Structure 1
Amino acid sequence: MNSITVDGETILYKEVGEGPPFVFISGLGGLAEEWQADMLHFAKSMRCLSLEHPGIGGTPLPTERCGAMEMADRIAAGLRTLAVESATVLGMSLGGAVAQELALRHPNLVSRLVLTSAFARLDERAKRAISTLVKLMECGDLRTAIRMFYWVGFGATFYDKNLPALDAAVDEYVADPIDYAVFEYQLDACLTHDAMDRLGRIACPTLVTHGAADLLVRPYLAQELADGIPDARLVLLEDGGHSCNWEQPERFHSEVDAFIAATS
């Protein structure tokens, strides 16, 4: 993992490959390392970057409110420090909310946008589900909370076929958990994000991908997102859950490759 200092703050980041920049933005509790397979795929022709959110890897937690707007501003400052003038930006879930704010607040930095499992705003059902999952972590039953995160976060088809791997992932997480305070500020960022009235200002080419079987952020929210962004294209991945990009990597990579080629 690499690091830079921006306005006195240490920002950790992962970088692979050379070429036009491609930025990956993680979701709730997500890590740059989780993009490894995606970065290796796109690094064949692009400079792939993922900046860790505050509080990850021992970096300081935010001292003030850190919603999607503030997270986007921080990434923008980091990208400028890394000499990135314009990039393809991919955001997943909360990362998709941050990516929207990046495109809205720093349009010159975003040449094209990929939003996966994302939302312009959450509905009440999703807000309650995410809040309950994070509350489980606060209650001290971390293993149960993470098991429920995975149950909600993956489609049923993938989940049923990968139970041993998912159980191992739970064990790995419990052995080295992320600071609960990270989930606290990121939960607030999820609950308060609302770009519905501003989506029409996103001017770059946009691809919206979403799992057709997403239990957490239901597909109608992806349709709402795509409808609000001028000329955005929506692709639903059959049987895909909230982590559809990792459940169906070949299909996901193919869609993104085609989008980049069509907008180059």
Structure 2
Amino acid sequence: MYQNEQRLGATTAQSGAIFDEGLRKHMLRVYNYMGAGLLITGIVAFVIGNTPALYVPIFSSPLKWVVMLAPLAFVLFFSFKIQTMSAATAQTMFWAFCAVMGLSLASVFLVFTGASIARTFFIAATMFGATSLYGYVTKRDLAQFGSFLMMGLIGVVIASVVNIFLGSSALQFAISLIGIAVFVGLTAWDTQNIKQQYAENFDQESQQKIAVFGALSLFLNFVNIFQLLLYFTGERE
């Protein structure tokens, strides 16, 4: 009887160790996708933002609206098609999305100084890293905050669209402040969701797609934190 309990305990411990190692590799894959995506976005944004022959035709014509709205189209496509596309297609779409996001963010280099962009990036990275780590290690169920965060996200999006026409600095201040809080919360929430999805024992193909979609979610949170922080820390050219 005692020996059976010992074997059961050893088997459970071994299974737990295998699961933890698999989860670690899965989360590392998610962060690697996200990091590579940010690198692509940064390179594209930097090159275009510092090349007049490229940014003048884009941002001095109606083409700028296409560039600004293209990332949203990619996100919607991902959301509706992720279940039916292959893992390879999901990865290809993710890299294409990151490049398009770079086009959209090129305008940042036209407005803010390089030093303030770098400083804001590191502040955003610190905030993102801390909250993502919290979402990974906390035992608290963050699902209860999900609906609240999504409502906050919808409110930020609507207010941002309205402020395009109003141009109110007071409203932009409120949007930036609330938006940072919302995306910081979403970072922790999304990290916990990615961790929980791995525990659902999907097949390898599905795990790859989950990793890509998880990277997309975290990527969007980081980019939005970065953009909103620029309102407070960015120095204009």
Q: TM-score range by the shorter chain?
A: under 0.3
Taking CA–CA contacts closer than 8 Å with sequence separation of 6 or more, which of the two structures ends up with the larger relative contact order? 2
Indicate the structure with greater helix content: 2
Quick check: which has more Rg, 1 or 2?
Answer: 2
Indicate the structure with greater strand content: 1
User: So what's the TM-score if we normalise by structure 1?
Assistant: 0.25
